Amino acid sequence: MTRWGTTVGALLGAFALQVMIAPHISLFGVTPNLLLLVVITLAFVEGSSAGATVGFVAGLLMDLLSSGPIGAWALVMSVTGYLSGSLKQNLFAEGWLAPVTVGVIAALVADFAYLVVVSVIGVGPAFWPALGRLVLPRALYNAVLVMLAYPWLARFLRTDRSIKSFGRLA
Amino acid sequence: MRIGQSEPKQSRPTLLIILVVLSLVMLTVYFREGDDGVLHGARRVTLEVTAPLARAGTAITSPVRSISSFFAGIGASRERVQALEQQNEELRARLAELEEARQENERLRALVDFAEERKFAKLGAEVIRRPVSIWEGVIVIDRGSNDGVEPGMPVIAAQGLVGQIADVSAHSSSVRLVTDQLSGVAAIVQSSRTPGVVRGSIGGALSLDFIDRTYLPVEGDVVITSGIGGVYPGGIVIGDVIAVDDRHGELYPRIRVASRVPIGSIEEVFVLVGSVVETDAGEIE
């Protein structure tokens, strides 16, 4: 399968899982953002340009799926994808620490940026309560999922590489 | 070990700038266009397309939810069961009293020719999707415009108010929950008839705002819809007052309300599809 094929497949798969499974695996009311996992992983293995593009598409899908203003998630996830790719290039981290660090930072950035965007356009919740109750718990949840899903997702997205394990991948 | 074959490509800020501008354009269009606009239409199409997926997800996860609720029920203590049994007896007695009052009310209405009591037709619906994001309190039900559902219609459950129809596609609709941060319901305290507004929040808690502190409610007071505003009919139970904080220096007291509806696990709801004059026109379903 080509790179485009695997990317589209991963996006559609994450979209389907976001609809079917994500609402049922919420912890303490926190629902994970499975599309973000694909964006972060792809940005990490392909770079910031691919991350931004896939982030935009994934964000648009998230916008259409939710009830908020359309364009907000597209904006946030394209920036997150770009930053994830840039972090990979500029991060002084080796082995398993690199994807974990990028995953945690990107997960934090994504929900915090969304809070800022909806607050600026006047449809957001109270800022500080939302930061504690929504942004941080979800960032933590997404970061854990990134750590768990990253090796498998990366292996699926980069079939041209013989990725055997997490250590080998990172 | 580092990946040796091909490192990620260099970043291109131009592409990011284009995507950011595109996103901002979409945001602007979304707020400027009406409900019939392209982006709103795209969301309705997504709602329709994802309905089978959501239904499949609910079916797939159903056994897991049943098992977890079974194990959760094991922990119920004997005292709890006895308390519920006692409460059940009390409620049955109360129901009998209310039935007597209802019949008396009907007789009196007939005597004074009090016409046009509004009664809403109820359309049963199944919840096929729970909120996909913590940023919103929106569920999806398996009824749409083909069933007569329209935006703005109230949605209730056996325990009380659930929310209001937001978007509608042919075979499914999204419901903005009363606990959503953007929801607001004109309400009254049932015992004192004091008006206020029940609002949702990010955590899903309900607050009763703009209550005159002269008529402060107490814990346990029932809050119902007032019918003011024309969105929700009056008399639907919203929840019970669970905390009253009358701090000095604030204009209105802080009153917390707990919904009686188990929002997180609700499976069936009713859409109030319209008002009809009370005759023989009963429930659709």
> How does pLDDT run across B177-193, given as a tens digit for each residue?
999 888 889 999 988 88
pLDDT band at A160 (very low <50, low <70, confident <90, very high): low
pLDDT number for residue B261: 87
Copy the structure tokens of residue A158: 């980069």
A24: which chain B residues are within 8 Å (Cβ-Cβ)?
57-58, 61, 64-65, 130
Average pLDDT of the residues in A76-86: 92
Residue B8 is predicted with a pLDDT of 53
The per-residue pLDDT for B9 is 55
Asked if residue B20 has pLDDT above 90, the reply is yes
**pLDDT given at position B285:** 41
Query: How far away is chain A from the Cα of B17, in angstroms, using its nearest Cα?
Result: 9
| B233-270: pLDDT as tens digits | 888 899 999 988 887 677 888 899 998 888 878 888 99
Read off the pLDDT of each residue in B69-93 and give the average, rounded to a whole number.
Answer: 76
Looking up tokens 């600026």 gives: A120
- Subunit contact B132:A23, Cβ cutoff 8 A: yes
Could you give the CA distance from residue A25 to residue B231 in angstroms, rounded to a whole number?
Answer: 33
Residues 6 or more apart in contact with residue B16 via CB below 8 angstroms: A48, A52, A78, A79, A82
**pLDDT given for residue A82 in this prediction:** 93
Rounded-to-integer distance, Cα B3 and Cα A62, Å: 31
- Which ipTM score applies to this complex? 0.87
CA dihedral sign of residues A138, A139, A143, A146: positive
Q: What is the rounded distance in angstroms from the CA atom of residue A75 to the CA atom of residue B19? A: 7
Residue B11 to residue A89, Cβ atoms within 8 A: yes
Sequential DSSP letters for A61-119:
HHHHHSSS-TTHHHHHHHHHHHHHHHHHHH----TTHHHHHHHHHHHHHHHHHHHHHHH
SS3 A27: strand
Q: Report how many domains make up chain B.
A: 1
Asked if residue B84 is part of any domain, the answer here is yes
Tell whether pTM > 0.90. Answer: no
Mean pLDDT of A57-77: 93
Chain center to CA of A140: 12
Residue B91 has pLDDT above 50, yes or no: yes
Q: Does B39 touch chain A (CB under 8 A)?
A: yes
Does any domain span residue B99?
yes
**Residue B111 maps to a domain:** yes
CATH fold, domain A3-158, is Arp2/3 complex 21 kDa subunit ARPC3 (1.10.1760)
Q: Which residue of A has its CA nearest to B11?
A: A48
| pLDDT at position A95 | 65
Mean pLDDT for B132-153 is: 89
* Tokens 């901002």, residue located: B24
Enter the tokens of residue A78. Answer: 């394209």
Can you give the pLDDT at residue B214?
A: 84
The answer to whether B14 faces chain A, any CB pair under 8 Å, is: no
Inform me whether the C-beta atom of residue B207 falls under 8 Å from chain A C-beta atoms: no
Q: Are B165 and B175 in contact (CB under 8 A)?
A: yes
What residues make up the domain containing B89? 76-115
For residue B70, being part of any structural domain is answered with no
